[in-house]
Structure 1
Amino acid sequence: MITRRGLLASSTALLLASIAVPASAQEAETAAAADAPDDSGDIVVTAQFRGQRLQDTPIAITAVNEAMIRDKGLDRITDITNSAPNVVMKPSGSIYGPAATLFIRGVGQMDSSFAVDPGVGLYVDDVYRGITFGSLLDLLDLDRVEILRGPQGTLAGKNSIGGAVKMFTKAPTGDGHGYIEVTTGSFRRIDAKGAADFTIVPDRLFARVSAVTRHREGYLKRLDYNCTHPGQTQAPTASATDRDCIAGREGGQDYTAARLALRWLATDTIEVNIAASRLVDDSEPTATKAISLNPAAATTPGFPDRSVFITPPNSYTNYSTYQIQGFTDPPALLGQPGAGTHPAIVYPTNNRIRAWDIAGTIDIELADRLSLKSITAYQYTDGRYSTDADTTPFGISGSMNRQRYKQFTQELRLNGSIGSLLDWTLGGYYFNGKGYLFTYNIISPGLPNETVNLADDYIPTTSKSVFAHGVWHVTDRLNVTGGIRYTNDEKSYSFQRLNPFVPTLPAYTSAGKINGLKSTFKGDRWDWRVNADYKLTDQILAYAQFSTGYRGGGVNPRPFVIEQALPFGPETLNAYEIGLKTDLFDRMVRLNLSAFINDYKDMIFSNTAPTIVNGVVLSAANGTPVNAGDGRFKGLEAELALRPADGLTIDANVSYLDFQLKRIGASGATITGITLANIAPYVTKWKAAGGIQYRFDIGDMGSLSPRLDVAYQSSFYTNIDNNPASLTPGYTIANARLSWQSPDKDWEAVLAVTNLFDKFYYQNTFRGPAISSVTGQPAPPREWSVSLRKSF
């Protein structure tokens, strides 16, 4: 059995050994990655535990290095969405707070709840992040990002059924180099970031410090309805602060992060890396706009036509107040403790995240062709966000959510080789997460079906696994790879549904029956992978692979009535893939192709249908995860990179994804509108992106590099019922940049325009059946920015 105590003891022993053992060196995979040049053809990735050239790695993987991040002007993790085929990364809708929605090949997660395992694993320096809340990470001081498509059931970290996104920061080298960069632009944007690398003890101890701060005004305006409609029926006021009737904004940023990394070459064979980071985020809520509104008439007294609260199409506006007006509980509840007449409630109008983490990696070269790696990490996140789900002046549906999360992880890997015949890895992984959720939730106040409760939930999770991986070099051109992993998971959810006005008592609404309920999921799983790759020529690699993936079960984290407090089981996935990686014409042309079929069993979808028992609607609000049935994904992917002339680069990718629901189970049949013809959420059938850049030499004045990027994404649904209201339309957007670099390459200035043609489009949509509303998250309009960077 793998125990936390045993893994901690192993880590302590390794740290002590770093002082006593008389030799040390960085493990081959880390050294190779750190030494990788900027030329994308030589990016070294560590997806298979060892440093390998990207083109020699026989899996579907996209790597984005520092030069590409800068050339494309990428700021945070979701900006990478157009750099890889069949990858959809979006900021989550406001109902899920400040989080990233990540999907790869149709598999992912849009719910930021701690109770649901991410479908796509997110890593920083090989440390897994167990939650998506607070995952809109800045691309600060990175060496590269690896995007692995397909299940990662047998490789490093925790199983990820859909794929993995791995961010690798720059390691200290002690070279004394660094940079400072400042940016200004639209919406009063002021950004600054920088890094510095220096030596503490020559040849032994090095440090690197990096930091970023981003500030900008929100692009969506919250308007005071009474101010914009003078002389009409009065609605609850949002207290406009200026004559433009603006009461506040959404979509703004107030974000600061910093990182300190230490690298100690303890001996010739031992290296210790320690990194700590801190995040302070007080950004505005996600921009949210009403698309359709038809709540109960009683929720908007004096306004029988609720469509008046839908602002004009293509305008970045809403009428949100983040307030619940004073209300009286329905007669059926009066007389219960806490029930009665309640004053107005005002929610905070900004998000708040305070997070920090620390990680230690020890690399020990035990002998020739034998090395040991230990990765120990602790993460802490404390955050708060509010939602105004109806976006009207009336408090029809609102909540204030506070989330705290603690995570400890430990990974051990033993890497070895048997001559030139076999490379092998044995490893163990331990994950312990503790989530605390505090939610003040009010829906349809004063109506018979009102939801009024205070949630105070506890979600502990543990995952233990052991894994083995081997590559058999059959010939100089043929390799056979195998991997296996055993995982044991346990996840509990303890519910409290309290009375917000008398917090020592259960809620006086129907949610009170949930108070004290506890549910636990326990499960184990064997995952495996087999892969064969063959070099047809020195420039062409072909591979074929079968792999499996798994996502653990749990319980519905958001039941509104006890009938919705239901468990759900695990999902499993069998993936079949073939691929081709080529470097042609003296590496002027690179074309990578992949095709896959993923058989997905017991798929988890949200049941948004009203909960009805014996003909009585117990709750119109619902979002219960259920194992709906089985499906099949089929897809094609292509990535192209051209270097037809000095200074000219062209990159492009295109993907096709088809989904077919093969079976609907008993739980799935309870979802209103589900049929075998329906398409899974976030499945974009077509996705394509391309960029072109040319570097002009202007002599003593340095160089100019114009760049144009264009991206297309087809429409997708956000619910399995495929209600037309949940369809997010497709779009095409373009970004442009013009950069100047000094002759010594120590100064750089950039003029950039995003959303060049000022396209209005939604990044996602959300349908709220409980209040008959549909809202969308509009992407930012056209924005310009100017940056100045000094390298030293």
Structure 2
Amino acid sequence: MNATTNNRFKKKSLALLISVALGLSGQLAAAEEVNAEDQENAEEGVPTLIITARKTEENIQRVPVSVSAITSEQIFETGIDDVTDVQFHTPNSTLQVSRATNSTLTAYIRGVGQQDPLWGFEPGVGIYIDDVYIARPQGAVMDILDIDRLEVLRGPQGTLYGKNTIGGAVKYVTREMSGDGEFSIDATIGSFNQRDAKIAAQIPIVEDQFYFGLAYASLQRDGFGNFINTGDENYNKDLTAMRASFEYRPSDSLFFRLAHDNTQDDSNARGGYRLTPSLVTAQQPYADIYDSDTSLPVFNDVETGGTSFTIDYEINDQTSIKYVWAEREGDTYTNIDFDATAVNTFDVPAVYDDEQTTHEIQVNYSAENWRAVFGYYDYQGEACGAFDVILGLAGITLENGGCVDTESSSFYGQANIELADKWSMTIGGRYTKDEKTADVYRFVFLGSVFPEDNETPIAVQSDFNGSEDWSEFTPRIGFEYQAEDDLMYYFSYAEGFKSGGFDMRANESVNPLANEPFDPELVSTYEFGFKSDWFDNNFRLNGALFYTDYEDMQVTVQRAVGQNDFATQVVNAGESEIKGMELEGLAYINDNFNLNFAIGYIDAEFVRVDFFDPNLGQTVDVSDQWVISNTPELSANVGANYTIESSMGDFSINANWAYRSKTNIFEIPSTLDMGSYSLFNIGVNWYHPEGQWKAGLHVKNAFDEEYRVAGYNFPAVFDNQGNLVAPGLGGEDTVTGFYGDPQTIALTIGYEL
């Protein structure tokens, strides 16, 4: 959030208040100290922002990796509800709710991600809670609770964060307890009968040593629409979340934390909006995009949670060691009506179950002219699931199911070396070894069958076990030039590795090679960036240019085979190229008024894609027909904040405009693709003079823009005159879309003791 300017402006060192900044300094090792000048300037204007994007405390303006961070104060002032709102404040990021879900995350950064949330597939953007990796996207659309800041790292983070961060990483950093007794409560009422309550407290058990913290949220809202044929709500919200933690500081050099979090989502399963008339019921598209029909129960149950234990010990002034243990698990039962009609033409009830255990040991060391971080990471996880494709007109059900066990371990190290007065060098690498064992089945049943049913199949289309292992070394090297105290240039080369796997939808009866594992993805990124403060620190501009060579991209393709069967293939797309730029700016007009902006541009294309077409029975190159999904060419936002001081307290007026150009939902272009759109948000916040009370009135999507974020595409085939040639899967024309939130107005009142 910065602004353009030029070199003739005099500069002074000023640290960042808001967390949208590009460019990081190459000291990926021990915590960077905040120097005396930084501290002095923090009093003058913009406070210094310290982040832990690279697992150590650093001034965000002193390190060379593209990063944005949004503080808890900004989250309140701008009315951010969950992580998906962050895409409208950061460049080249797509963070969406996946298809027919309420809390499953589809995440893309710089054109790299994973649009298929099925168990067994790995994400391309890593999600973390206090450095604990969240392996599955289910439940990853976490609402804001007890948070200090959100950090969004762009580009491959293969050295410090390891596999499955080839696009970048999103970190939830929770509040560290102050040691004092604290209590806060926020209550929100708003459109569609929104009624939220958030409570947070911390209690000192032993003064200055042992503390207990608790946060709880209940988030309720009626639906944006309805299931017309049943009267149930569609796009409603019924969610509870909690976090509890103990922190113990027996001395200044030793810290312990035990934390547990849990989220329960009982919102109704979402129904899609039909973009075409139904071939079965003749139902026309409804007038309201949030209205739907369903032949399934709307029951949906998603529960995720975990426990972590952290020890941080400062051995001496040069060396510290940190150990993090964590266990997490998630359970999902959901009902997805693909065709969105009152007839069970194409219904998919599904269950998911996953659990993981991780260990990480990290050592930070600093010497006179170099600093380094070394570590070991171990991951053990199991992901299981089953889904039933009920084809009511054919009187059959196709059930896919199975489990994937993953063992992953890695060693990593990275150092920053001072080469000369203004030059430094970053060098590091990570060695990762993955082992996966999978069992996959696909059965055909008569009638309508649900995952919990115990029926006898009439046919077996797949039934196999597979095991494979992969290993990869991912280096990082960079050079930094601190031209002046407030002007830094950097260049870096980094690689990322995303694990291979097995297709959990494999249909050997159609594709005999479906039981073979697919390969890992590899990303190599070159980046040149800069960080700068200008015009007596009233203007800040940070920017980056990047080029990414993307090999063996894992693309999941599903195609109907006739009306009563379908085949999937996880294609290791031969090669793609992604290049682009990012600018973030912040302009402080005076103490009461500031402006910010972010611009992201991406030029992404497939170079070669070898795809086995089940209808043709052969492999073809379709690179000229495919596009990079969930990646608008241009994303931009402009924001403004104006503060009015009065005897009644301070009033802060916030406005934000965000633009996204055309976005392809899948790799194959279709009528689901979303054209360009803009969103405008505005809010007014009030702060009591004594600091205990605050309030915020926020209008989001003020002009009620309709924008599609996901969908299902199993279309019928029509000729040039619009005559039906062949129905799609299940005998239907299934083209259904899912949409972002409409205009909402919410009033939040908070009290802090």
Shorter-normalised TM-score: what interval?
0.7 to 0.9
Report the Cα offset of residue 588 of structure 1.
1.4
1:477 aligned residue: 422
Contact kept, 8 Å, 1:97 with 1:133, in 2: the verdict is no
Output aligned runs, 1:570-581, within 5 Å: 570-581=520-531
* 2:646 equivalent to 1:685: no
Residue matched to 1:232: none
Q: Say if 1:467 and 1:315 are closer, same or farther in 2 by CA, change over 3 A.
A: closer
Q: Distance in 2 between matches of 1:202 and 1:267?
A: 12
How far did residue 167 of structure 1 move?
0.9
- 1:7-26 aligned at under 5 Å gives the runs none
Q: Which amino acid aligns with 1:543?
A: Y
Q: Which residue, out of 359, 368, 389, partners 1:410?
A: 359
Q: 1:606 aligns with which of 556, 569, 580?
A: 556
State which drifts further: 387-396 or 712-721: 712-721
Total equivalences in the alignment: 694
The answer as to 2:680 corresponding to 1:734 is: yes
Supply the RMSD in Å over aligned alpha carbons. Answer: 2.5
User: Structure 2: which amino acid aligns with 1:714?
Assistant: S
Which of 404, 414, 419 is the equivalent residue of 1:459? 404
Q: Does 668-677 or 267-276 show the bigger shift?
A: 668-677
Whichever residue aligns with residue 376 of structure 2, its letter is G
Q: Which moved more, 1:454-463 or 1:363-372?
A: 454-463
**Structure 2 contact 343–392 (Cα < 8 Å) conserved:** no
Task: Report the Cα offset of residue 116 of structure 1.
Answer: 0.8
- Output the amino acid matched with 1:750: G
Partner of 2:483: 536
Equivalent of 2:225 in 193, 201, 220: 220
Percent identity of the aligned residues?
27
Report what 2:267 is aligned to. 283
Question: Per the alignment, in what secondary structure is the counterpart of residue 75 of structure 2?
Answer: helix
Q: Deviations over 1:47-68 (max 9, x none)?
A: 3332111110111111111111
Structure 1 residue 135 corresponds to structure 2 residue 140: yes
How far off its partner does 1:373 sit? Answer: 0.5
Q: Which amino acid aligns with 1:285?
A: A
Amino acid at match of 2:474: D
Letter in 2 for 1:125: D
Q: Which residue of 2 aligns with 1:230?
A: none
Partner of 2:534: 584
Structure 2 length normalisation: TM-score?
A: 0.88
Q: Contact 1:710–1:735 at 8 Å: present in 2 too?
A: yes
Amino acid at match of 2:742: P
Per the TM alignment, residue 107 of structure 1 is displaced from its structure 2 partner at its CA by 0.5
In the alignment, what sits opposite 1:743? Answer: 689
With over 3 angstroms needed to count, the CA separation of the structure-2 counterparts of 1:193 and 1:673, relative to structure 1, is farther
2:209 aligns to what?
Answer: 204
**Partner of residue 578 from structure 2, selected from 633, 640, 643:** 633
- Larger CA deviation: 398-407 vs 618-627: 618-627
TM-score of the pair, normalised by structure 1: 0.84
What is the deviation of 1:455?
4.1
Distance in 2 between the 1:496 and 1:403 partners? 15
Change (3 A) 1:451 1:108: farther
Aligned to 1:186: 191
Give the whole-Å Cα distance in 2 for the aligned partners of 1:356 and 1:177.
25
Take 1:506 and 1:31, find their aligned partners in 2: how far apart are those partners?
A: 65
Counterpart in the other structure of 1:371: 320
Residue in structure 1 matched with residue 293 of structure 2 by the alignment: 319
Q: 2:747 maps to what in 1?
A: 786
Distance 1:445 1:40 in 2: 62
User: Does 1:254 pair with 2:238?
Assistant: yes
* CA deviation vs aligned residue, 1:56-94 (integer Å, no higher than 9, x gap): 011111111111111111111111111210001111101
Alignment of 1:68-467 (within 5 A): 68-94=74-100, 98-156=103-161, 158-224=163-229, 238=230, 247-293=231-277, 295=279, 300=280, 303=281, 306=282, 308-312=283-287, 314-322=288-296, 347=297, 349-419=298-368, 421-442=369-390, 444-447=391-394, 452-467=397-412
Q: Secondary structure at the match of 2:651?
A: strand
Contact 1:150 1:163 in 2 (8 A): yes
Amino acid corresponding to residue 761 of structure 1 in structure 2: Y
Q: Does 1:524 align with 2:471?
A: yes
User: Does residue 1:653 correspond to 2:578, yes or no?
Assistant: no
What is the alpha-carbon distance in structure 2 between the residues aligned to residue 761 and residue 311 of structure 1? 16
User: Structure 1 or 2: larger helix share?
Assistant: 1
Letter in 1 for 2:85: D
1:131-174 superposed Cα distances (whole Å, 9 cap, x missing partner): 00111111212111111101111113544111100110001121
Deviations 1:297-329 (A, max 9, x none): xxx2xx4xx3x33213x543122232xxxxxxx
Point out where structure 2 has 5 or more consecutive residues left out of the alignment: 1-28, 716-728
CA contact (8 A) 1:263 1:274 kept: yes
Does the aligned pair in 1 maintain the 2:521–2:554 contact within 8 Å?
yes
Tell me the alpha carbon deviations over residues 688-707 of structure 1, each in whole angstroms, 9 at most, x when there is no partner. Answer: 11111101012x21121111
Partner of 2:24: none
Shift of 1:531: 0.9
Gaps of 5+ in 1: 1-26, 225-237, 239-246, 323-346, 612-616
CA distance in 2, matches of 1:562, 1:117: 25
> Deviation at 1:772?
3.2
What are the superposed Cα offsets for residues 655-703 of structure 1, whole Å, 9 maximum, x if unpaired? 11011221233558968893336321112001011111101012x2112
Q: 2:671 is paired with a residue of what secondary structure?
A: helix
Shift of 1:97: 6.4
Q: Is the 8 A contact 1:32 1:51 kept in 2?
A: no
- SS of the aligned residue for 1:283 comes to coil
1:721 partner SS: coil
Q: Which stretch of structure 1 is more off in the superposition, 187-196 or 768-777?
A: 768-777
SS of corresponding position for 1:187: helix
Which protein has greater RCO, CA pairs closer than 8 Å, 6+ apart? Answer: 2
CA distance in 1, matches of 2:30, 2:160: 17
**Does the 8 A contact of 1:633 with 1:659 survive in 2?**
yes
Instruction: Specify whether residues 504 and 496 from structure 1 end up closer, same or farther in structure 2 by C-alpha distance, changes over 3 A only.
Output: farther
Change (3 A) 1:497 1:364: same
Indicate how the Cα distance of structure 1 residues 696 and 263 shifts in structure 2: closer, same or farther if over 3 A, else same.
Answer: same
CA shift for structure 1 position 784: 0.9
Equivalent residue number for residue 545 of structure 2: 595
Which amino acid counterpart does residue 265 of structure 2 have in structure 1? D
Select which of 545, 565, 568 maps to 1:623. Answer: 568
Whether the 8 Å contact between 1:117 and 1:552 is mirrored in structure 2 is yes
Cα drift, residue 117 of structure 1: 0.8
Find 2:701's aligned residue among 747, 755, 762: 755
Amino acid at match of 2:745: W
Shift of 1:641: 1.0
Distance 1:605 1:156 in 2: 23
